[in-house]
Amino acid sequence: MSATNLLFLPPGDGGDYRWMRIEDSRVAAAGEGLPQGDGEVIAIAPADAVSLHWAEIPARSTAQAAAAARLLAAEVSAAPMDELHVAVGEDEAGSRAIGIVNRGAMAGWLTRLGAAGVDPVAVVPAPLLLPRPDTGYVRGDLAGQGVVRGRASGFADEPGFTEIVAGDEPLAELDADGIEAVLGAAVAAPALDLRQGPFARRRGFAIDWRLVRRLSWLGLAIVVATLAIEFVRWTKYSFAADATEAKIEQVARTALPRGETLVDADRQLTERLSALRGPGQGFSRTAAAVFAAVRAVPGTELTAMDFQPNGDIRLGVAVDREALATDLKRAIETEGFAVQPSTFVAANGRITGEFTVRAR
């Protein structure tokens, strides 16, 4: 069974605390001093310490509503704003309650309560424990403090002053039973909580184990999904590699001599190619490059050609001028071969010598 303790702060600097224990919307116990028993504590600020006003503030964020409330408070308060704490309530029938209290008084209440081991969940002005009347005013006694609440006002009950404020408006009296009947609703949804801004209650850190478990399962699901994706990708690559290998084997069987056992397709095809074309770049490739170079350099001719077992070609070269030998060497090198020239000599009006052409 849930219970809420109302702790009435004494007016002024002196006086004792008084408390009421609310259970099932009824007053279950009351006394002086600090509350007895378990349950949340709501501190009740004295009516004469809080100036209450009501204003129409459009629905907006809490910070924006508080800023608008401070602007309105500056117009109705003579004290400097840096000495005041302004709190704004929830929208109620088109208007919001605005509470103005001295910053030092608010800090003093919370400090004294903290020293006594009490951290109230809210600080509510005493007049707001009374119901909001449709017309006129309602008056009642709360733990020895007389309070009055109107539709757009709330203040301490003082003889003579209350009658002047009420004027011709009806002033209803609430007895103890009437007050007890309305306390439950006032406690369940306070019209205004002064614990805002710098005086807001600090919430303790608590681990939401249910959320932790959900996040753990979500993390595990992400890991499993990632591994599944990688497994599918690996399987796909493995099948593709197998298919490629099978295709290579099929091509290799058509290129190798009939009946040859396939052991290493790449090595056997390399050996087969080398046997067909010769070592190095092969005779055909090397000779074609040499002939192309001779055609590209006029005044040069081949006098001999000898294909060596290691893939080199020895060329006998005759040129009209010595510079043409250099041009022919560069032309052959342009085809992607290395050229090693011998000593060239002049005879019968021509210059002759040898080139050794090999693959780079």
pLDDT of residue 184: 83
Tell me how far CA of residue 265 lies from CA of 213, 260, 270, in angstroms.
Answer: 55, 11, 8
CATH number for the domain that contains residue 107? 3.30.420.380
The parent domain of residue 130 ranges over 3-199
Q: Which DSSP string corresponds to 265-290?
A: HHHHHHHHHHHHH-STT-HHHHHHHH
Euclidean distance between CA atoms 287 and 305, whole angstroms: 9
340 and 195 part of one domain: no
How many domains are contained in the chain?
Answer: 2
pLDDT of residue 317: 92
Asked if residue 239 is part of any domain, the answer here is no
User: Which of 199, 233, 251 represents a domain boundary (last residue)?
Assistant: 199
For 234, the 3-state DSSP assignment is: helix
Asked if residue 22 is part of any domain, the answer here is yes
Q: 77 falls in which pLDDT band (50, 70, 90)?
A: confident
Q: 276 falls in which pLDDT band (50, 70, 90)?
A: low
CATH number for the domain that contains residue 352? 3.30.1360.100
Asked if residue 294 is part of any domain, the answer here is yes
Asked if residue 259 is part of any domain, the answer here is no
Give the alpha-carbon dihedral of 207, 211, 213, 214, to 10 degrees. Answer: -170
Q: Could you read off the pLDDT of 4-31 as tens digits, one per residue?
A: 899 999 887 667 899 998 888 788 888 8
- For 145-152, which contacts have Cβ atoms below 8 Å and span 24 or more sequence positions? 145/8, 145/11, 145/46, 145/47, 147/47, 148/47, 151/54, 152/53, 152/54, 152/95
Whether 106 contacts 123, CB under 8 Å: yes
What is the token pair recorded at 167? 């004027």
Q: Could you read off the pLDDT of 100-156 as tens digits, one per residue?
A: 999 999 999 999 999 988 999 999 999 999 998 989 999 999 988 899 999 889 999
Asked if residue 296 is part of any domain, the answer here is yes
* pTM (2 d.p.): 0.55
Asked if residue 171 is part of any domain, the answer here is yes
184 and 313 part of one domain: no
Asked if residue 287 is part of any domain, the answer here is yes
CA dihedral sign of residues 125, 131, 134, 138:
negative
